[in-house]
Amino acid sequence: MRQIHSPHQNARPDGVVIDLIVLHAISLPAGKFESDYIEDLFMGCLDHHAHPSFADLEGLQVSAHFLVDRSGDITQFVATDDRAWHAGISAWQGREGCNDFAIGIEMIGDEEQTFTDSQYRETARLCRVLMHRYPAISTESIVGHEDIAPGRKWDPGKQWDWQHFHRSLSHIRKLDINPI
């Protein structure tokens, strides 16, 4: 797994229990599935003049713990014990500020094209590793950004097949990637 250290992170509150995984979808610009612009965004060095749609992102400080590209390759931007800035204004089961207790996984995708089998497999594998490391995370506490910020966020969206993901998750038994 490739690791890049994003400056858009900080410490979680003392005593917090990590018990949620939030799945996201991202493409920059919209409909383009390369990771370079996404990495630049998470690193705070996106050229806001490279595409007209990037103007709205100027000054945005955002990151995720992980990015899963279309081939299933994973890049880690923030250590899981630290707080990534992925959820924004959010709430889950009556608790606000999901960044405090969640791990964010971005998948390169949009609402127009299906996600790849590699993304389902590797996202499920990553979730299994995280569930092993953080036992408070259950299958039911792997949610979409749309679930913690309804009406504000759409991702991972209609193209993310939750049944396919749960089948992939149930088939992962052996933890065969390095723990994070």
Active site residues: 106
DSSP 114: P
CA torsion 59-60-65-68 (nearest 10°) is -100
With CA atoms as reference, report the closest residue to 18 among 135, 176, 142. Answer: 135
Q: What distance in Å separates the CA atoms of residue 78 and residue 31, rounded to the nearest whole number?
A: 25
Secondary structure percentages of the chain, helix, strand, coil, to 5: 30, 20, 50
Q: What stretch of H or E contains 92?
A: strand 91-92
